[in-house]
Structures are given as C-alpha cells and as structure tokens.
C-alpha cells in the first residue's frame, strides 16, 4: 500500500505560531532540571556523565521528572547500577543539530557560506521539550552547543539577516521576544527553563531600531513600545527601594550612585550553581563555606548574565576566578545600552505626542549619561572603565567595554579621542581588537577577539569621525574570519587576534562552530562594501 502523504493546509504555519502565542501562557512550565531532578541532577553533573554540563540539562525526559527521580532513588541501590545507562534510558536529545551534518561547499566565498548557513541554523520549536521553551516563530541559533534563541547573540545575527534581506526571520525573532516578555516579564538569556533567572546585555531596543529600517520608525517604535517599557521595568526593578532607603545602596539590578542617580548592574535571582555549569561552579566554590559559596554563585551567575562569561573584567585578581565580584560592579556597557533604551522610549513618546512622558525618559537618559561620564571615566587611564561601587572607585580593568559609550554617543569628543588612541595603541592586533589586556585562559580575555565587540567598536568610532581606525579594525577582523574559513571551512565563535591560525580558545567549553554572531557581523560588514560598489 503506498505511503500516505499529508500536505500542510494553507496558512498552517501561521496558525501554529498563533496557537503558541495565545495558549502557551495557559500551560504550566516545567521546572529547571536542577530543581526537578534533585540528587540525580547533582550526580550526573558531578560524575561528568557528559563532558559538557549543558548536554544533560538540554536532554528531554521520557517521563515526568518526578517519576524519573523516584526510579533513580530505587535503582541506584543496585551494586551493578550504571548511571550513564540510566540516563540514556530515561532521556533523549531533541532535534539533533543539523549543522553537525552540514558540509561546506569549498567553492563558496565566506560571504556566500554565511547566506547558505541561515537555513542550517534555523529552528522551529512550538512545544516545550524538557528545558527548551516553545516559541511561536522560527529563529536562528548561534550553533554548536547553543541551540536556543540567545538574547544578545540575536542582535548581531539580525545584522546579517538584514544584510541578506531576511526581514521575515528578523520579525519572527522579534515576535518571539515580545512573546517571552509577555510570558516572563523580561527577555531571558535564552528560551531554556534554567535561564529564567537571568537576562543578557539589553540589545532589544537596538533590535527594534534595526527592524524600523525595514518597517518604518514611527510604526515600529509604537508597536514595540509596551515591550520596550517592560524591558525597562525589569532592569529598573527595585529603583524605589534604593531611592527610599539610604541603607540600600543596591537592590537586584539597580545601584544608587553617590550623586543620587540610579545606574544598573548585572545580577541573577538565584544563589545556586549554574545548572549548565554545575560542576565547574561547585569546584570553584569548594573552599568556601555555605554562605560565601552562595555569594560566589551569585557573582558567577551575574557574570553569565553579562555575556562575558568569563573575563578578568569581573575579578579582583585577573588570574583567579574565585575573586569574581560581578555584582559589586557598575558596568559601562550595560548602562550605555540602557541609555539607548531610554532614548528610544523617549523618541517613541514624541511620536505619540506625549511630551511629558518623552521628557521624563529623556531626562533619565541625560542623568544616566552624566553619571557614566562621571563614574565610569578614568582620568588616569584616559579610558572608560567599570566602576566598583562597593569601593567607590574604578575596577582598573581595561576592556573593550570602553567602546560602548561611543556606540551610544555618550562620550565627549575629548573622551572619544582618548579611547580611539588607546584602542590603536594597546588593543588593536593583527587580527582585530583584543577583548582585554590580560591573558588568563578565560575566553573573554586576551588573546581572543569577538565579533560583537568588533562591531560595537567600529560603529562607535564612526560616530565620532574615526573612520580610518574603524576601517582598519574592520579590515583586520574580516581578514581573520576569512582566513579561518579558508583553512577550516567554517565560522567559529571567537578568534585569537594575535596568532597566525586566528583560532580562539579558553573558557569553560570547547570552541564552537556555527557561528551566529560571527556570521551576522561578517555579512553586515561585507554588505557595506557591496552597497558602496
């Protein structure tokens, strides 16, 4: 008997998307695996059943996790019990990455390869699968171990999608973020249950600005205003607590500065090891008592929210992750991004003929900009540097986060000149800009360079007229990306901007192929040349 073929009904894809968007809030979300699996979770992660801790938390249980946990309690008493076999019987991998089977066409240029890779990195997930949270629309993932719609990665991915005219995909990803804001009240690191206590650098306003290039500014800004405001409320939660109580110097993600202005910090709502890096965090805290371990876990989680996980930027001792103190720090990049968010909200209210509300957010943006220039500028270093509010002084760590005030147009012309000079003198290497000046083995340190930071630096320098330096950085970075592609036939997550191979390393997990934001930034930079010609 011939196999029956079922053809999709017209509009089925749209119907499914609408169904997820309207009904998913009614369904109970699964618990994070560390909370749901108890001792089983701890044993799997600590015994290194999988070399990468993210592998287990991404698996899908074949039964309810409560039942699996109960069965584990009984079975592990058997002297011949095999933990790896137990896990393989009770969990499975959802959606094996298509990119593992992808074979590069070696006749393609790097630019063509990026365009060819979008469909490989596209995912559709309209049902919850274990820790993976359903989203109504298709999205692009970074690649490798990262099979979710990651927050700040997505902005740089969207730059490449825009260069390829894939506005439908961009808009779908934006609708996913609007959905997550409605569902969770904020944009989590990615659509995983174990990421629901932390966010990432807030690029949502920049995504709205990007989409507005295609759909029109006024229309797009007004459409996404409720979500821009929700994003702002998330980051500013606790502002009244620090304003009304002088003893509360900081609360959640807000910090009251000595001049009364409220700035922000990276934070997390939990004080336990990160589920996806459980063993690494437990090992880091092994010499701590229970209370100091909780504080360490909070700093590690906040470092993960920053996207810079990890970097000497967050350490007292650049060589020792145990000295991490992320939540003591007012980061210059985070506050520059929130300044941009305030400006876009103010501009939207101007479109809506709401001058009082526009003025309120414009004033907040101006106060934030002044505070950044006051507390995050180092006269000694002639560079923007994060501020340690506990010590009331600069952290002293020089990093590429210094380019964000230029990107946001907060820097004075004199400050921009000094930053440009320092970038050229200390940060510019043969393959692009190095992330920090410390070699530590952490991935967000020297000798690594990262695509998003190259883009922010290039754009920031252009804002202040440093086009020659911006073009030099662009040329070196594009050459690094193309060199690795020519040698290995792939894009990678990070690049060693000092070595001949240009292949990056360091960090908590192996170098990842893919790679979303590398692809996006390369496409956007090369598209500039295509348009110029």
Q: pTM, whole model, 2 decimals?
A: 0.94
**Catalytic residue status for 309:** yes
Instruction: Give the C-alpha separation, 393 to 40, whole Å.
Output: 44
Are 73 and 39 a contacting pair, CB within 8 Å? yes
For the chain, the residue count is 533
For every residue of 121-144, DSSP letters joined together read SEE---S-BTTBPP-SS-EE--BT
Residue 19 has pLDDT above 90, yes or no: no
- Provide the domain limits for residue 82: 32-94
Alpha carbon separation from 220 to 168, 174, 212, 224 (Å, rounded): 14, 11, 5, 6
pLDDT, residue 1, reads 40
pLDDT, residue 26, reads 55
Helix locations, 185-287, DSSP H: 204-215, 217-236, 239-244, 278-284
Burial 16-48 (b: 16+ CB within 10 A, else e): bbeebbeebeeeeebebbbebbeebbebbbeee
Residues 58, 119 share a domain: no
Instruction: Give the C-alpha separation, 101 to 82, whole Å.
Output: 30
**Catalytic residue status for 493:** yes
pLDDT, tens digit (0-9, with 9 covering 90-100), for 164-179 = 999 999 999 999 999 9
pLDDT, residue 23, reads 63
Q: What pLDDT band is residue 106 in, cutting at 50, 70 and 90?
A: confident
Residues 497, 455 share a domain: yes
pLDDT, residue 98, reads 53
pLDDT, tens digit (0-9, with 9 covering 90-100), for 122-167 = 999 999 999 999 999 999 999 999 999 999 999 999 999 999 999 9
Averaged pLDDT for residues 175-193: 98
Q: Distance from first CA to last CA of the chain, Å, rounded?
A: 58
- Out of 309, 328, 333, 513, pick the active-site residue: 309
Residues 474, 503 share a domain: yes
DSSP state of 293: H
Residues 113, 90 share a domain: no
Domains in the chain: how many in total? 2
In a domain, residue 308? The reply is no
In a domain, residue 49? The reply is yes
Residues 113, 59 share a domain: no
pLDDT, residue 216, reads 98
CA count, 13 A, side-chain hemisphere, 159: 25
In a domain, residue 178? The reply is no
pLDDT, tens digit (0-9, with 9 covering 90-100), for 215-235 = 999 999 999 999 999 999 999
Averaged pLDDT for residues 475-504: 97
Instruction: Give the C-alpha separation, 419 to 405, whole Å.
Output: 10
Between 25 and 192, residue with greater pLDDT: 192
Residues 512, 442 share a domain: yes
> Bridge partners of 330?
387
Are 149 and 122 a contacting pair, CB within 8 Å? no
Residue 4 has pLDDT above 60, yes or no: no
In a domain, residue 448? The reply is yes
- Out of 58, 493, 496, 513, pick the active-site residue: 493
pLDDT, residue 8, reads 46
Residues 66, 120 share a domain: no
pLDDT, tens digit (0-9, with 9 covering 90-100), for 54-103 = 999 999 999 999 999 999 999 999 999 999 999 999 999 997 655 556 78
Residue 2 has pLDDT above 50, yes or no: no
Residue 9 has pLDDT above 60, yes or no: no
Between 191 and 21, residue with greater pLDDT: 191
In a domain, residue 83? The reply is yes
In a domain, residue 58? The reply is yes
Helix locations, 388-466, DSSP H: 404-407, 413-422, 451-463
Pair of tokens at residue 228:
């821009």
Residues 518, 440 share a domain: yes
Between 533 and 281, residue with greater pLDDT: 281
pLDDT, tens digit (0-9, with 9 covering 90-100), for 401-458 = 999 999 999 999 999 999 999 999 999 999 999 999 999 999 999 999 999 999 999 9
């Amino acid at each position: 008997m011939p196999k029956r073929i079922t053809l999709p009904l017209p509009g089925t894809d749209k119907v499914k998307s609408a169904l997820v968007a309207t009904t998913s809030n009614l369904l109970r979300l699964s618990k994070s695996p560390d909370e749901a699996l108890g001792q089983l979770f701890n044993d799997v992660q600590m015994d290194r059943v999988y070399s990468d801790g993210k592998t287990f938390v991404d698996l899908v249980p074949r039964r309810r996790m409560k039942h699996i946990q109960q069965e584990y309690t009984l079975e592990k008493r058997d002297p011949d019990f095999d933990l790896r076999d137990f896990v393989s019987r009770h969990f499975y991998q959802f959606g094996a990455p298509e990119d593992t089977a992808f074979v590069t066409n070696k006749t393609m240029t790097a630019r063509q390869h990026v365009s060819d890779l979008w469909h490989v990195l596209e995912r559709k997930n309209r049902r919850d699968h274990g820790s993976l949270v359903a989203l109504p629309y298709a999205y692009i993932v970074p690649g490798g171990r990262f099979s979710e719609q990651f927050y700040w990665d997505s902005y740089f991915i969207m730059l490449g999608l825009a260069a390829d005219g894939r506005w439908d995909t961009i808009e779908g990803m934006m609708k996913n973020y609007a959905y997550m804001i409605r569902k969770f009240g904020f944009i989590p690191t990615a659509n995983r249950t174990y990421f629901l206590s932390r966010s990432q650098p807030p690029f949502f306003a920049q995504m709205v600005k990007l989409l507005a290039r295609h759909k029109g500014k006024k229309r797009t800004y007004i459409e996404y205003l409720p979500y821009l405001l929700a994003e702002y409320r998330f980051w500013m939660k606790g502002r009244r607590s620090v304003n009304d109580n002088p003893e509360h110097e900081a609360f959640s993600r807000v910090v009251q500065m000595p001049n009364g202005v409220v700035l922000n910090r990276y934070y997390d709502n939990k004080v336990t090891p990160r589920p996806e890096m459980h063993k690494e965090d437990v090992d880091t805290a092994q010499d701590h008592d229970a209370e100091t371990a909780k504080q360490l876990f909070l700093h590690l989680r906040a470092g993960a929210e920053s996207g810079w996980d990890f970097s000497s930027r967050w350490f007292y001792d650049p060589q020792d992750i145990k000295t991490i103190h992320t939540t003591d720090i007012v980061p210059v990049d985070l506050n520059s991004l929130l300044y941009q968010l305030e400006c876009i909200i103010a501009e939207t209210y101007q479109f809506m003929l709401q001058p009082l509300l526009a003025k309120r957010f414009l004033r907040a943006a101006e106060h934030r900009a002044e505070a950044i220039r006051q507390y995050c500028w180092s006269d000694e270093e002639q560079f923007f540097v994060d501020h340690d509010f506990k010590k009331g002084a600069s952290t002293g760590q020089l990093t590429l986060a210094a380019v964000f005030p230029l990107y946001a147009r907060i820097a004075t012309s004199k400050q921009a000149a000094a930053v440009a000079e320092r970038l050229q003198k200390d940060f510019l290497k043969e393959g692009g800009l190095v992330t920090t000046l410390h070699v530590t083995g952490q991935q967000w340190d020297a000798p690594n360079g990262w695509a998003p930071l190259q883009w922010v630096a290039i754009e920031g320098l252009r804002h202040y007229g440093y086009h020659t330096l911006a073009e030099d950085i662009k040329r070196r970075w594009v050459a690094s990306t193309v060199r690795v592609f020519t040698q290995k036939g792939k894009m990678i997550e990070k690049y060693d901007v000092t070595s001949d191979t240009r292949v990056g390393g360091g960090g908590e997990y192996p170098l990842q192929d893919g790679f979303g934001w590398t692809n996006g930034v390369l496409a956007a930079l090369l598209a500039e040349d295509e348009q110029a010609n």
